[in-house]
C-alpha cells in the first residue's frame, strides 16, 4: 500500500487472526528507493483471545453431566467454564488448562436446567463467551414396596423423586416362567379371646413352606411357621399375612380378625383364667401386676379340686436334674409341660400377693393321694417357708418343715452340723433333715435321697409323680356346667 510523503502512520485492515505478518517500509523519490525498514506483526483477535466453539453435553444423569468444546486454532493459556442453576442463580466457575477440552460437572440438582458458558483466556485477557443450556434427568423414585397384598390386588408405595415430574409410569408383570398365583381365601376360624385357627387354599403350584405374620395395634409383628395362633390379646383386632415361599417367589395374602372379650383379659392368676371359662390345663400368660406390669407364663391346673391352681413344681420322669445350686433354684428351671421348678423369687412374689393355700398331689403305682394346707407363703429373706393347716389323704409330712429356710448344695443360710442338701441330694426347706424331700433324686430308693413323703411311702421309696400348686385361699370354684 502507498501513503503520502507527509504521513507517519498507516492503518492495515483485513488481517487474519493468528497469522504473523512481515512489514516492510521503504521511501521512494522518483525511481530511487531507500533501504527497507522491516518488522513483524502477530495479529490478534480484535476482542481478545479466540473463543472456543462447538459446546456439547454428554453423560447426562440426574446429578452429573460432561460438557465439551472445540479449542480455538490460536494460542490460548486456558479456559474458564461457568455453570448456573436456572432457578437458584449462584454461578460456579472452574478454571482449566489450555490442553483441556471437557469437564465433568457433579452434585447437580435432578430435573434442573443449567446455563453453561465457556471462555478462552490468554494471560489476563478473556474471549467472548459461548453458552448453551442443558437439563439434568429427573431422579428416580425410591423405596418401592408393596403392601396390603391379596391374591388379586396390591398397594404400591414409594418415595417421590426430588425433581418435579409430570407423571409416573408403572410397569408390572409376573415372573417369566413362574406360576405367579399365591394362597387364597385366608380365613380365621374358631376365634377365641386368646386363640385362632387360620386356614387357606394353597396355590396351584405347591409352596416349599409358608410364613405367617400377625400383629395387633401397639404390638410388635410376630412371625410363626404354623397356623395355630395362641396367647393373643382379648378384644383386639389382628392383621395377618400369609406368605407362600417358593424359591425367590413369595406371593402373599392377608386378612384380619378380632378376638373375643374376656371377663379378665389380663388375669393376675390361674383362678381368674378359670373364671374366663378356660377349663383346659396348660400354659397361661398371667399379669400379676396388672395390664401394664410384666407378664409371666405359668402352668395352670384347671381340673384338680375345682381348678385354678398355679403349679410351681412337678416330678414325673427324671428328665430334669434337681440337684442344683442356689442361683438355679432362685431363678427356676425346667419345662412347664414336663419337670420343672418355677423359681423361689417368683414363688415369693406370687405367694405374698394374697393369702394362699397349697396342694401337693402324689401318684405312684396307680395310687393317688394329696395333701392340702390352708396356709402357704414363701418369705423374701432366705425364702423361709410358712405352711400349716393340713388336710388330705397323703398324711402331713410338710408341717415338719414350717419356718425353715431354703438351702441347696452350695448355700445353707442356717448352717447345721449336717449339710442336708448335700446328704439328701436336693434343694428344700430342710430342718434336720426332712420328712418330705420332693426335690430329691428321681428313682433313688436308698439313703433317703429320693423323692420322699414319709407319711405316705416312708423314706426308702422314691415317689414317681409329684406336683406342688397354689391358689388364693378365698377362691370358690365356679359350678361345673
Per-residue pLDDT of the chain (481 residues; tens, 9 = 90+): 888 888 888 888 877 766 778 888 888 888 888 888 888 776 655 557 999 999 999 999 989 999 999 999 899 999 999 999 988 778 999 999 999 999 999 999 888 999 999 999 998 899 999 999 999 988 888 888 888 776 567 888 888 877 777 787 887 765 544 445 677 888 888 888 888 888 888 877 777 777 778 888 666 666 655 577 777 888 888 888 887 776 767 777 888 888 888 889 899 999 999 999 888 999 999 999 988 889 999 999 999 999 999 999 999 999 999 999 999 999 999 999 999 999 999 999 999 999 999 999 999 999 999 999 999 999 999 999 999 999 999 999 999 999 999 999 999 888 765 789 999 999 999 998 999 999 999 999 989 999 999 999 999 999 999 999 999 999 998 887 6
Q: Give the angle 60-65-66 at the CA atoms, nearest 5°.
A: 115
| Nearest alpha-carbon partner for 76 in 107, 93, 98, 59 | 98
* E strand intervals along 76-221: 78-85, 92-97, 102-105, 113-122, 125-126, 130-135, 142-147, 155-159, 184-189, 196-201, 209-216
- Does pTM surpass 0.95? no
Distance CA 125, CA 189 (A): 87
b/e burial code for range 98-114 (CB count within 10 A of at least 16 → b): eeeeebebeebbbbbeb
- Could you tell me which residues are beta bridge partners of residue 371? 360, 392
Distance CA 385, CA 429 (A): 7
Distance CA 148, CA 87 (A): 40
* Residue 324, C-alpha cell as written in the block: 442344683
Report all structural domains of the chain as residue ranges with CATH numbers, in order of start. 18-144 (2.60.40.10), 184-258 (2.60.40.10), 270-472 (3.90.215.10)
User: Which residues 6+ apart lie within 8 Å of 146 measured at CB?
Assistant: 154, 155, 156, 157
Distance CA 287, CA 264 (A): 10
pLDDT for the residue numbered 53: 93
Q: Would you call 392 helix, strand, or coil by DSSP?
A: strand
Separation of CA 76 from chain center: 62
Give how far Cα 221 sits from Cα of 224, 246, 261, 374, Å: 10, 22, 22, 44
On the 0-12 / 13-18 / 19+ scale of CB atoms within 10 A, 39 is exposed
* E strand intervals along 128-251: 130-135, 142-147, 155-159, 184-189, 196-201, 209-216, 222-224, 228-229, 237-245
Query: Phi/psi zone of residue 89: left (φ > 0), alpha (ψ -120 to 50 degrees), beta?
Result: left
pLDDT for the residue numbered 315: 98
pLDDT for the residue numbered 177: 41
Amino acid at each position: 500500500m502507498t501513503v503520502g510523503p507527509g504521513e507517519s502512520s498507516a492503518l492495515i485492515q483485513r488481517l487474519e487472526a493468528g497469522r504473523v505478518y512481515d512489514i516492510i517500509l521503504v521511501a521512494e523519490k522518483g525511481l530511487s528507493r531507500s533501504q527497507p525498514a522491516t518488522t513483524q506483526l502477530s495479529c490478534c483477535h480484535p476482542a481478545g483471545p479466540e473463543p472456543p466453539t462447538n459446546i456439547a453435553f454428554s453423560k447426562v444423569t440426574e446429578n452429573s453431566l460432561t460438557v465439551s468444546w472445540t479449542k480455538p486454532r490460536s494460542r490460548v493459556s486456558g479456559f474458564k467454564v461457568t455453570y448456573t442453576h436456572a432457578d437458584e442463580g449462584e454461578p460456579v466457575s472452574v478454571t482449566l488448562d489450555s490442553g483441556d477440552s471437557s469437564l465433568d460437572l457433579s452434585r447437580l440438582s435432578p430435573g434442573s436446567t443449567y446455563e453453561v458458558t465457556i471462555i478462552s483466556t490468554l494471560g489476563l485477557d478473556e474471549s467472548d463467551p459461548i453458552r448453551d443450556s442443558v437439563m439434568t434427568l429427573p431422579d428416580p423414585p425410591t423405596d418401592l414396596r408393596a403392601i396390603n397384598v391379596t391374591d388379586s390386588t396390591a398397594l404400591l408405595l414409594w418415595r417421590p423423586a426430588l425433581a418435579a415430574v409430570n407423571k409416573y409410569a408403572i410397569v408390572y408383570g409376573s415372573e417369566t416362567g413362574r406360576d405367579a398365583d399365591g394362597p387364597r381365601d385366608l380365613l380365621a376360624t374358631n376365634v377365641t379371646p386368646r386363640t385362632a385357627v387360620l386356614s387357606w387354599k394353597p396355590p396351584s403350584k405347591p409352596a416349599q413352606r409358608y410364613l405367617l405374620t400377625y400383629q395387633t395395634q401397639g404390638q410388635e409383628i410376630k412371625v410363626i411357621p404354623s397356623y395355630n395362633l395362641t396367647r393373643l390379646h382379648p378384644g383386639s383386632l389382628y392383621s395377618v399375612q400369609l406368605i407362600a415361599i417358593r424359591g425367590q417367589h413369595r406371593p402373599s395374602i392377608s386378612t384380619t380378625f378380632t378376638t373375643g372379650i374376656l371377663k379378665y383379659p389380663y388375669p393376675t392368676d390361674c383362678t381368674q383364667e378359670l373364671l374366663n371359662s378356660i377349663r383346659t390345663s396348660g400354659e397361661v400368660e398371667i399379669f400379676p401386676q396388672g395390664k401394664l406390669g410384666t407378664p409371666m407364663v405359668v402352668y395352670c391346673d384347671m381340673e384338680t379340686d375345682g381348678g385354678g391352681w398355679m403349679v410351681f413344681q412337678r416330678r414325673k420322669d427324671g428328665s430334669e436334674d434337681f440337684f442344683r445350686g442356689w442361683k438355679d433354684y432362685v431363678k427356676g428351671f425346667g419345662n412347664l409341660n414336663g419337670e420343672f421348678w418355677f423359681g423361689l423369687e417368683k414363688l415369693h412374689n406370687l405367694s405374698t400377693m394374697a393369702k394362699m393355700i397349697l396342694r401337693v398331689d402324689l401318684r405312684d403305682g396307680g395310687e393317688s393321694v394329696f395333701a392340702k394346707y390352708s396356709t402357704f407363703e414363701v418369705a423374701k429373706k432366705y425364702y423361709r417357708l410358712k405352711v400349716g393347716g393340713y388336710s388330705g389323704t397323703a398324711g402331713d409330712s410338710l408341717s415338719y418343715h414350717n419356718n425353715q429356710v431354703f438351702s441347696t448344695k452350695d448355700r445353707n443360710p442356717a448352717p447345721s452340723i449336717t449339710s442336708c442338701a448335700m446328704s439328701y441330694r436336693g434343694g428344700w426347706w430342710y430342718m434336720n433333715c426332712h420328712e418330705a424331700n420332693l426335690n430329691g433324686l428321681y428313682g433313688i430308693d436308698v439313703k433317703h435321697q429320693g423323692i420322699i413323703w414319709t407319711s405316705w411311702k416312708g423314706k426308702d421309696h422314691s415317689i414317681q409323680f409329684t406336683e406342688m400348686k397354689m391358689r388364693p385361699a378365698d377362691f370358690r370354684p365356679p359350678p361345673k356346667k
